Amino acid sequence: MEQLLNYPQIQSNKIPTHVAIIMDGNGRWAKKQGLMRIFGHHKGVDAVRGAIEFAAEIGIKYVTMYAFSTENWNRPPIEVNALMKLLVDSIEKELPTLMKNGIRLKTLGNISQLPGNCAEQLFKAEEQTKNNDNTTLILALSYSGRWDITQAMKKIGNDIQNGLLDPNSITDELIGETLNTAQYPDPDLLIRTSGEQRISNFLLWEIAYSEVYFTEVLWPDFTKQHFLDAILDYQNRERRFGKTTEQIAK
């Protein structure tokens, strides 16, 4: 594959199709420099750009980035407002990067909860990038795994009540199809930065068999080299999906 010329260490037949990233540590990064937390978020946007460029370069088809959780609404209003403004500004500013790298933008989460101009900007960017087919960038915003599972259960419950669904026909496929992530394959690799080793209500259903990679690097410091390290680590793992090594080797 020509696009891997820059990264001969990568095995081109073992590129994860979907990488999910919990971008954590912006606040601590800023604190270390004696700056306000929002500066960490600003620097974090540069790391997002590097990560999606790298993903497009090596042919990762889907990247889901956790940008704002349901629980993040409980942060001080000054930080929430600054983050929303940063989001709107960044989408506008980064559109050329998305177009240049053939990246399609999608959102995941309770977008109606975002301030009016955020939802509008996101919708515009989704429209403008919808024919890009290199990599899909899924921005998880006002998202949590439990929120998505809850809305899926409501839909399924309604269908049962309306006589459209027999409870005995509920399968794990049906639940997966009812989630807002239905159109994407499950993540192969989940990365979390900043040394925290937890999931924080990210893709709970979808990460059932994801490989998990934790790094101490704070998100604003996360470079293409760090992303490459994660990919190389992933490529050395054996994914067994409950089977034995002997079965996998066949």
Residues of this chain that interact with ligand IPE (CB under 6 A) are 22-28, 66-69, 72, 83, 194, 196, 198, 200, 219
* Sheet of strand 211-214: strand arrangement: 103-108, 135-143, 62-69, 18-22, 189-192, 211-214
If the CB atoms of residues 24 and 188 are measured against Mg ion, the closer one turns out to be: 24
Select from 42, 18, 19, 16 the least CA-distant residue to 29: 42
Per partner kind, with CB cut-offs from 5 to 8 A, the member of Mg ion, ligand IPE, none near residue 82 is: none
Q: Catalytic residue at 162?
A: no
- In the list Mg ion, ligand IPE, none, the entry touching 72 (Cβ below 5 to 8 angstroms by class) is ligand IPE
Q: How far apart are CA 136 and CA 62, in angstroms?
A: 5
Task: Tell me: does residue 148 bind Mg ion (CB under 5 A).
Answer: no
Contact 40, 29 (CB under 8 A): yes
Indicate the burial class of 194 (C-beta count within 10 angstroms; 0-12, 13-18, 19 or more).
Answer: buried
**Distance between CA 105 and CA 138 in Å, rounded?**
6
**Of 6, 13, 24, 148, which is the active-site residue?**
24
Whether 132 is catalytic? no
- SS3 assignment, position 51: helix
Q: Which does 28 bind (CB under 5 to 8 A by kind): ligand IPE, Mg ion, none?
A: ligand IPE
Scan residues 16-35 and list those touching Mg ion (CB under 5 A): 24
The distance of closest approach from Cβ of residue 241 to ligand IPE in the complex, given in angstroms and rounded to an integer, is 27
Position closest to ligand IPE via CB = 27
Contact residues: Mg ion, CB under 5 A: 24
Hey, which residues are catalytic here?
Answer: 24, 72
